[in-house]
Amino acid sequence: MNQEQNNAAMRAQFPVLQQQANGYPLVYLDSAATTQKPDPVIEAINVYYQQDNANVHRAAHCLSARATQKFEHARDLVAQFINAPSREQVIWTKGATEAINLVAQSYGSLLNLGDEILLSTMEHHANIVPWQQLAQQRDLVIRVIPLTANGELDMNAVSELLTERTRIVAITHVSNVLGSVNPIAQLVKMSHQVGAKVLVDGSQAVAHMPVDVQALDCDFYVFSGHKMYGPTGIGVLYGKTELLNAMPVWQTGGEMIKKVSFSGTTFNALPFKFEPGTPNISGVIGLGAAIEFLTSLDRVAIHNQEQVLLAYAKQQLEQLSEITLIGSPQEQMAVISFVVKGEHHSDIATLLDQQGIAIRAGHHCAMPLMDALGLNGTLRLSFGCYTTKQDVDAFITALQKTLEFL
């Protein structure tokens, strides 16, 4: 198959992409917000509800046995996908946000007055606010890694900010605004040298690059299913076993217990200790299907295609005198932010939407980054495995028309 046939075959698997938006063929350039879902994911969820629907881990009947088997198989798939040493280190959450809250509240309860948390300027609110809450509750200190002029972590500042008081470093793998890829392995090494643990927010990484938690040696790694072709409402917390075992339970209830009496309760082992209540079974099964979908692709070829499109889109945007690209990191992943001179980002996005182009405008849940950049928002393009050069061309044509119109 040539490139065009490859693209057509890929796009044919995504029903959402087969529609018109405002009278134009839909051009979806907002995959960093959420990716579209391929047929196998939609089908896996349908089959679960049509044939296997039952609660898990209560296998008194065959439906429950099938649901449990699929549910736990998805955990194996995630463990393999991120190279976790064991399946018990894969904990289901609602998404990256809930996973970070879990670590902040559970691991965070082991921190003491004056202990320091190191974040970066490019974090999503999901990796800021839970730590701020914890800092207020326990009188901790938050320090922030600044960025260089091209939108990368200032690694010289990291050496100064990491001290023997630093207990946790919470850092994104890939920026959802700038696309910057952070040097996680190096950061983990530096953090471990001062005895700090590292949580990596992999929300924008997992769909675009191989992630090996053992090679990174990170202590926690979190991500959401919906940004990697899976359903919404399901995500993953990976953690090192000794840390997860030492952490107190967070939310409590059924499923996470070994024995309950009115004189006290003993808790279940990992991973169930952190999974109270009936889980998002269809979400887990859908995420399993998304991982099977992703691993069935030639991921190197997809990565290369995304990189070619990134370079092409940047080059096209740079030719428009009204446009300023935001950030120019050396390693950039599937995301481009830009502003239009004299125009509000949301006006541009609305006019693009009227031409069938879906992109994101605003602060992208990264207000501290916007403050640091001196902006009130940007426009953001983001790519997935189904994005083509035709998408970028349609976007550039619509943007040019919009600029002429304004």
For ligand PLP, the closer of residues 176 and 402 by Cβ is 176
Q: How far is the CB of 203 from ligand PLP (least distance, A)?
A: 4
- Of the residues 30, 52, 115, 201, which one makes contact with ligand PLP according to CB under 6 A: 201
Q: Is 91 in the site for ligand PLP (CB under 6 A)?
A: no
**Of 82, 144, 97, whose CA–CA distance to 119 is shortest?**
144
Total of chain residues touching ligand PLP, rule CB under 6 A: 14
Distance of CA 261 to the CA centre of its chain: 39
- Compute the least distance from the CB of residue 172 to ligand PLP, in Å: 5
| Residues whose CB falls within 8 Å of the CB of residue 176, separated by 6 or more in sequence, listed in order | 32, 124, 203, 204, 335, 364, 365, 366
Binding mask 343-382 for ligand PLP (x = CB under 6 A): ----------------------x-----------------
Is the Cβ of residue 158 or residue 335 nearer to ligand PLP in the bound state? 335
CB contact at 8 A, 270 and 112: no
Interface with ligand PLP, residue 172, by CB under 6 A: yes
Identify whether 365 is a catalytic site residue: yes
In the bound state with ligand PLP, the residue whose beta carbon lies nearer, of 213 and 399, is 213
**Contact yes or no for 179/329 (Cβ under 8 A):** yes
Which runs of consecutive H residues, i.e. helices, occur in 112-183? 129-138, 155-161
CB-count exposure of residue 231 (10 Å: 0-12, 13-18, 19+): buried
289, containing H or E segment:
helix 281-296
Q: Within positions 94 to 113, which residues make up the interface with ligand PLP, using CB under 6 A?
A: 95-97
Give the x/- contact pattern for ligand PLP in 123-162, rule: CB under 6 A.
-x-xx-----------------------------------
168 beta partners = 117, 197
Q: How far is the CB of 122 from ligand PLP (least distance, A)?
A: 9
Q: Does residue 89 interact with ligand PLP by CB under 6 A?
A: no
Give me the phi and psi of 177, to 5 degrees please.
-110, -45
Which of 62, 218, 365, 385 is an active site residue? Answer: 365
Residues in 26-45 that interact with ligand PLP by CB under 6 A: none
- When asked if residue 204 is in the footprint of ligand PLP (CB under 6 A), the reply is yes
Q: Which residues of the chain form contacts with ligand PLP (CB under 6 A)?
A: 95-97, 124, 126-127, 172, 176, 201, 203-204, 224, 226, 365
Q: Annotated catalytic sites, by residue?
A: 365
